[in-house]
Amino acid sequence: MKTLRLYTVGVALLCLPTMIGTVHGQGHCAKVSTDVTLYFGVETDLPDPNHPITVDLYHSDFEVSFRASGWEVAICHDAADTGAHGLEIPPADALLYANPNSRWLLPSIPVGFEFIGAKPGEPFWILPQSAGTGALALGLAAEEADSSRLCRWNPADPRGADAPDFWFEVRLLDMRGPADANFALWQADGINPPVVFMSTHEGGITDADVFHVSAGSHVHVNWGFTQPGSYEVDFRIETVLRCDDWLTADWAPPGNDADHGDGRVDFQDFAWMAGYWGRTPLVEDPNTFMFVDPNDPARPVGMAALTALADQWLLCGYPGCYGGDDPNCSD
């Protein structure tokens, strides 16, 4: 029966959603990240069979949020027929379209805008930060984020993210597009110099190519492209998850063997839980209190406890492993 229970727990664990790309221990907080690619068509042929939903004309947002179910990354398209809350599109299905209304042609590039990589007398394209221009206005948003799951942190970015908040970092990883193409992301108010967040023209992709948006908010930005054609732009989205005390405790009871009570979540802990699957721990063995569902201590060991253990293993890292002197820890 114990083998069967362990198999059941293992299958249930494999069915849990994959939530992260990277974990770094950070006290009772843990950095979590996911990678996403956005697809842009700059005056390309429509429809695009690889990205069947064309996002054009209306205000839309690139939504990056973390909730109890994990990462939620989508294109929220506010077209006229999508209703009050808009249409949520998986990024792989969306073609973010730069139509002819987004095309600019200037005899000279204004001072301060050289970062776009545009050449005088040649066209370039801007998805503007303002709606109502006849071109797609694409914002960045974290309006759906569950801030109760997050820790405050300070990115120390003087471009608008230099105070503690529930931040999401959007980092440029790569851009693939037409020959001699450049991509840029910035904000401008028409009075002060533009605030540049990303530019493949100035020095290529560097650590400075990041943008921050706080949970519950959305912001308007400009997206620039210097050649017609198809673009794939890769981003890494990162935030800092709050790990509750009951998720950062040791699960396997101490004193059983060298692998239990070691302060780390591993398969020994899952195996120990499997031995109590379906039993009520406080009744049968008070030493297994760590398997209790905090919302219902009398509930038998089951999916609630398994999910909590997996949450710690996948998201919060090993308890006590915060990049200190422990040789078994790593950032």
Query: Is 55 part of a structural domain of the chain?
Result: yes
Mean pLDDT, range 33-46, rounded to an integer:
97
Confidence of residue 285 (pLDDT cuts 50, 70, 90): low
Task: State residue 43's pLDDT score.
Answer: 98
Task: State residue 301's pLDDT score.
Answer: 78
Mean pLDDT, range 288-292, rounded to an integer:
56
Task: State residue 298's pLDDT score.
Answer: 72
Examine the domain organization and report whether 267 and 151 are in the same domain. no
Task: State residue 306's pLDDT score.
Answer: 78
Confidence of residue 101 (pLDDT cuts 50, 70, 90): very high
The pTM for the full model equals 0.75
Q: Is the pLDDT of residue 212 over 90?
A: yes
Examine the domain organization and report whether 200 and 75 are in the same domain. yes
Examine the domain organization and report whether 167 and 82 are in the same domain. yes
Average pLDDT of the chain is: 79
Examine the domain organization and report whether 102 and 233 are in the same domain. yes
Examine the domain organization and report whether 78 and 134 are in the same domain. yes
Examine the domain organization and report whether 287 and 234 are in the same domain. no
Query: Is 130 part of a structural domain of the chain?
Result: yes
Examine the domain organization and report whether 263 and 237 are in the same domain. no
Mean pLDDT, range 152-180, rounded to an integer:
95
Confidence of residue 203 (pLDDT cuts 50, 70, 90): confident
Contact indicator for 260, 272 with CB cutoff of 8 Å: yes
Angle of helix 303-311 versus helix 2-14 axis, rounded to 10: 60
Query: Is 325 part of a structural domain of the chain?
Result: no
Q: Which residue has the higher pLDDT, 3 or 230?
A: 230
Q: Is the pLDDT of residue 316 over 50?
A: yes
Task: State residue 87's pLDDT score.
Answer: 86
Query: Of 138-142, 262-266, 305-309, which one has max mean pLDDT?
Result: 138-142
Examine the domain organization and report whether 115 and 11 are in the same domain. no
Domain range enclosing 263? 2-17+245-316
Q: Which of 95-104, 106-115, 195-204, 309-318 has the lowest mean pLDDT?
A: 309-318
Mean pLDDT, range 197-216, rounded to an integer:
95
Query: Is 329 part of a structural domain of the chain?
Result: no
Task: State residue 244's pLDDT score.
Answer: 59
* Distance in angstroms (rounded) separating the CA atoms of residues 147 and 65: 9
Task: State residue 295's pLDDT score.
Answer: 65
Q: What's the structural domain count of the chain? A: 2
Examine the domain organization and report whether 212 and 74 are in the same domain. yes
Examine the domain organization and report whether 34 and 172 are in the same domain. yes
* Distance in angstroms (rounded) separating the CA atoms of residues 306 and 291: 8
Task: State residue 26's pLDDT score.
Answer: 43
Examine the domain organization and report whether 224 and 307 are in the same domain. no
